[in-house]
Structure 1
Amino acid sequence: MLKHRKKRGIALITILMILAIMVTIATTMTGRMTSSLLRTEGLNFSQKVYWYGQASVELSRMILNNDFEDSDVISLDQIWATPDLIFPVEQGTISGSLKDNRSCFNVNAIGAADKDEVRALPVQQFQALLEALDIEEYAAEVIAESTRDWVDENNTEDAAQGAEDRIYEARSVAYLAANNLMVDISELRAVEGVTGKIFERIKPYLCALPVSDQSINVNTVAIEHSDILYALFKPKYEFSQEDFETLLEDRPSNGWSSVDDFLATGLLSGETISSELKEQLNVTSDFFELYGIAEFEKRLMALKVLFEIEDKKAIAIRFQYAGVE
C-alpha cells in the first residue's frame, strides 16, 4: 500500500513538472510570437512612413521643376517658398518646407588663398558676418581663419589666427582638420573657436554646399538675415546693417529681375561694384534644401534632402534622416 502511494506521489510530481515545462514553453512561444508580430508591425509602419517621406521628396521636386519652368528668376512669391506645407494622406500627413540654400552664406567658399598679402575677400566677408552677429572681433577673426584652414586643401595655417592639425591633435579627444569641403554645417562646430553658443547664433545664416563658390540670391535672403548682404559689401563699402534691412523691406514682391536691377536701387546706385563682388550676387538659385516630416499612425520620420538644379530640373543629391525640429 505504501509503495503504491509513493508511486502515485512520484507520478503526480512528474506530471506537475511536465505541466510546468509545457507552461514555460507555451509562455516563451507566446512571448516570441508577440515580439515577432510587434516587430513585423513596426517594420510595416516604418516602410509606410518611409514611402510617405519619399512622397514629400517627389512633391518637392515637382514644385521646384514647375517654378523653374515658369521663370528664370527665383523669388519668395513662388510656390516653393510657401512655408510649412501640409498634405493629409491616409492615416497620416506629409509636411515640409523648402529653403533656398543660395540665401545663406556658404562656408565652403572661403578656402581662397590671400593674394599679394591682401586677405582673401571671402574670408573678410565671413568675419564681417560674424561681427555683425555680435561675435567679438578677435573671436570672429579666429573662426574665419580657422574655417578657411578647415576647408582648404593644404595643411598649413594661412594666418596666425588659423588652426590646422597641430591645434586639434592637442585636444583631449584628438582629430584632424578636414582640409576638404564641409558636408554639413554642423561640421563647423569642430572648428577652432566655434563654441556651442556661437554656433547656435550663427547657424541660421550659414550653409555648407558641395561647391566652393559664393552666390547669394538677393531675391530670397530673408529680411531678418540682411546681415548676409551687409557682410558681402562690408570689406569695401561703408553701408550700415540697417541700410540692407531697409533695402530688403523695399524689395519688389516678385524680386529683382537681374543683378543690375538690384545694383541700380537707391542704396547702391552710383557705386562702382567690383567684378569679384558682383559675381557673388544672383537672382536665381541652384541649391535647395527640403526639411520634411512624414507621419503615419503617430510615427514620425524627419528628413533633409539637398536638391541641385541642373537644366531647370531638381535632382536630389543628398538624403539624410534628421531629428524633429
Structure 2
Amino acid sequence: MGPNQSSRGAALIIVLFIVALAATIAAQMSINLMVQVQKSANYDDFRQAKWYAYSAEALAQKVIRESIENEPDKMHLKQSWALAANTPFPVDGGTISGEIKDLQACLNLNALRAEPSSAQGGYVKTNPAHKALLELLKEIDDLPTQESEEAMADSVFDWLDEDSITMRSGAEEDEYLSRDVPYLTANNFFADVSELRLVKGFNPLAMQKLMPYVCVIPDNEVFALNVNTITEEQALLLAAMVEGLSESAAQSVISARPEEGFDSLADFANEVTQQGGQNVTADDNRFVLKSQYFQLQTTATFVEFEFTMTSLLQVDNKNITILARKFGGVQ
C-alpha cells in the first residue's frame, strides 16, 4: 500500500469518526429538544389546570353572592353554595370539582387568643372559646392521648396567647424546649389547623377525632357558630357550647331546624331550651344566622394533570374577598 493510499485511509477514518460524533451530538440534541418540548407542554397543561382552579374561586364567589342577594338575613345548607359538593364539572380537556365549607360551622381555634372574659379560681384566665374547646375535649369518647382534657385545652391557650406564663395545666417554652427536637411556642395565631399537632397532647389520633369540630380562620378571633349550617355530625360541638345540652339533645335541635334554617336566634334559643339547654338567649353572641368566612377546596384536572387548592373567602356584605390560598392537599 502506497503512502497516498494510507493517507486516504486515515482521512476516511477521521471523516467517519466526525460523522459518527456529529450524529451522536445531533441525537443528543434531539433528545434534549424533545425533553424541553415535553416539559413546556407539561408546564402549559399544569398551568391550565391551575387556571381552572382559579375559575372555581370565581364561581364560588358568584354562588355565595347570589345566596346573599336572595336571602340577606341568613345562610343555610339549602343554598346553592352548599349543594353539589365535589360533583365534577366538565370543562375543555378536564374537570373541576370543589366543596365550600362554612368556617363558622366549627370552632375557630384562633378564638382562644381573644382577651380573657372571665376568671376561675381567682387567677385562671379563660374565654368562651377556651371553655368550648375544654368541654368538647371532655365530650369526645376515648380521646387517644396521655394528657388530660384540661391540659390540652390550656396548652392551646398557651400556644396562642402573647405571654410566656403557663396557664394552669398548659405548656409554654420550657415544655417544648426540653424535647428531643426543641422548638418555641408561636404566641400568635394558627395559620393552619395542622399546626395543632405541635401542641402538647395533640397526637395524630387525637387530632383525627377532633378535626370534624375545629378549624382555623387565620389572624382572626371570631367565635360565632352559625346554627343554620352546623350538621348533626357536629352536634357534639353544640353540646359543648350549651350548658345542660347533651349530644342527643343537640342532634334534636339540629334535626328540628327548618330546611332553610332558623329565621331568628330566638327560634334557635327556644328549641335549645325545649331540649334542656340553659343560658342561651336571642342576643347570645356565640351564635349567628349568617357567616362571614368560607373555605373552598378545589380539584382541577387537565389532560393528565391534577391541581388542588384551598382558598379562604371572606364575605363583607356582597363583596367576597380571597384572603388566602394553599396549593396542594386540603385543610
TM-score, with normalisation over the residues of structure 1?
0.92
Q: Deviations over 1:201-257 (max 9, x none)?
A: 211211111311310001111111101101111xxx222111101211121101111
Residues 49 and 296 of structure 1 are in contact (CA less than 8 Å); yes or no, is this contact kept in structure 2?
A: yes
Distance 1:209 1:246 in 2: 28
Distance 2:277 2:182 in 1: 48
Note the C-alpha offset of 1:148. Answer: 0.4
Distance 1:68 1:34 in 2: 51
Distance 2:35 2:81 in 1: 43
Are residue 261 (structure 1) and residue 267 (structure 2) matched?
yes
Distance 2:283 2:5 in 1: 105
Q: Deviations over 1:108-149 (max 9, x none)?
A: 111343524355242221011112222269532221111001
Flag the 1:279–1:266 CA change in 2: closer, same or farther, 3 A.
closer
Q: Relative to structure 2, which stretch is displaced further, 10-19 or 184-193?
A: 10-19
Letter in 1 for 2:193: I
Partner of 2:291: 285
Q: What's the RMSD between the two structures over aligned residues?
A: 2.2
Are residue 179 (structure 1) and residue 187 (structure 2) matched?
yes
Among all aligned residue pairs of Structure 1 and Structure 2, give the percentage whose two residues are the same amino acid.
29
Distance 1:276 1:157 in 2: 36
Distance 2:177 2:281 in 1: 40
Partner of 2:216: 208
Partner of 2:52: 52
Distance 1:274 1:80 in 2: 29
Are residue 151 (structure 1) and residue 175 (structure 2) matched?
no
Q: Relative to structure 2, which stretch is displaced further, 48-57 or 126-135?
A: 126-135
Equivalenced residues, count: 321
Partner of 1:306: 312
Residues 53 and 301 of structure 1 are in contact (CA less than 8 Å); yes or no, is this contact kept in structure 2?
A: yes
SS of the residue 2:171 aligns to? coil
Flag the 1:219–1:65 CA change in 2: closer, same or farther, 3 A.
same
Partner of 1:22: 22
SS of the residue 1:292 aligns to? strand
Letter in 2 for 1:78: Q
Residues 252 and 275 of structure 2 are in contact (CA less than 8 Å); yes or no, is this contact kept in structure 1?
A: no
Runs of 4+ in structure 1 deviating by more than 3 angstroms, as ranges, are: 116-119, 266-272, 274-277
SS of the residue 2:60 aligns to? helix
SS of the residue 2:300 aligns to? strand
SS of the residue 2:313 aligns to? strand
Note the C-alpha offset of 1:198. Answer: 0.8
Are residue 231 (structure 1) and residue 233 (structure 2) matched?
no
Q: Relative to structure 2, which stretch is displaced further, 9-18 or 216-225?
A: 9-18
Flag the 1:266–1:28 CA change in 2: closer, same or farther, 3 A.
closer
Task: Give structure 1 stretches of 5+ with no counterpart.
Answer: none
2:301 to 295, 300, 307: 295
Flag the 1:305–1:77 CA change in 2: closer, same or farther, 3 A.
same
Matches within 5 A, 1:40-189: 40-71=40-71, 72-82=73-83, 83-111=85-113, 112-113=115-116, 115=119, 116-117=122-123, 120=126, 121-134=128-141, 135=143, 138-159=147-168, 161-189=169-197
Task: Give structure 2 stretches of 5+ with no counterpart.
Answer: none
Partner of 1:195: 203
Q: Relative to structure 2, which stretch is displaced further, 115-124 or 36-45?
A: 115-124
Q: Relative to structure 2, which stretch is displaced further, 219-228 or 76-85?
A: 76-85
